[in-house]
Amino acid sequence: MQNAITRTDFTFPGLKDLYIGKVRDVYNIDDELLIMVTSDRISAFDVVLPRAIPYKGQVLNQIASKFLDDTSDIVPNWKIATPDAMVTVGRLCEPFKVEMVIRGYLSGHAWREYKEGKRSICGNAMPEGMKENDMFPNPIITPTTKASVGHDEDISKEDILKLGIVSAEDYEMLEKYTMAIFERGTQIAAGMGLILVDTKYEFGKANGEIFLIDEIHTPDSSRYFYKEGYKERQTKGEPQKQLSKEFVREWLMANGFQGKDGQVVPVMDDEFVNLVSERYIELYENITGEKFERADVSNVPARVEGNIRKFLEAYYR
């Protein structure tokens, strides 16, 4: 029996194609529905790591589902139903070929760029004299190209429009939605004693309307700090206490891996896999304020497939 999903290969009526992403397996049903199975795979530095993390898929799917509901008054989203703890079914949209990354603080990739002496990212000026994890005067949007394989690349608004990747009219709406959802996420996080540091949103179009798609405000797509003690840690130059998968990246870097050519992923033993699993459950409870209810993991693939089939039978009845 399998207690985690590393990959699925289900066959459903009306299946047009199956896309295997870094973390999600996405089934196209009759060019009408997308069935997104959030697997237990984990990626870092754009590399899928060799071990799956039990309950990780459930954590990500349920957080995303909750926050899609909590922001549906701001922007329509793709979600129709969540027939399983690891599955979201939604409307098929044509995705925009950019990810809308928004940053409230100088952390992660932005800090690494800043540390190398850069004072502009994706056309946004970054003030002199900032320290890692300092708050920006205002949130900045730092889009990336959406790569089907390999690394996503930073890109400016000017280049997005010049290259015709997104129309000026649509991009204006993507910016507006991105700022509004980030503001809502910041408010929700504050209520949980957290700071939403940075995150990314993906959008698509269906019947001429823009929809928020994919995940939202999960620890895979977002970085959170604990609000309590943030100012003190900044004043003392201490690392911030984080709620994100940055701890996985830090473990990889400490073991000589940053996704660069010639580097080998370090061995993830059972102890580390279980630690990551427990950290994801901690993330869920801290981000949502709800107790995590562990789904049955005696045979996860069979459970997931069965629940999807029940949904499809009812949907097309």
Torsion sign over Cα 281, 77, 84, 43: negative
Q: Which two tokens stand for residue 17?
A: 């194609």
Domains and CATH numbers, the chain: 95-243 (3.30.470.20)
Angle at 271 between CA 40 and CA 304, to 5 degrees: 20
- The pLDDT value given to residue 46: 84
Any residues with CB less than 8 A from the CB of 37 and at least 6 apart, and which? 5, 8, 24, 25, 26, 27, 57, 86, 87, 304, 308
Q: What is the pLDDT of residue 148?
A: 58
What local confidence, expressed as pLDDT, does residue 1 receive?
44
pLDDT at 147: 65
- Class of residue 317 by CB neighbours under 10 A (exposed 0-12, middle 13-18, buried 19+): exposed
Q: Are the C-beta atoms of residues 188 and 195 closer than 8 Å to each other?
A: no
Per-residue burial over 185-200, b if 16 or more Cβ lie within 10 Å, else e, is bbebbeebebbbbbbb
Please state whether the predicted TM-score (pTM) of the whole model is above 0.85: yes
Mean pLDDT by 10 residues, the chain (317 residues): 86 96 94 97 90 95 97 98 98 96 97 97 97 98 80 91 97 98 97 96 97 93 94 97 84 93 93 92 93 95 97 94
The predicted pLDDT at position 99 comes to 97
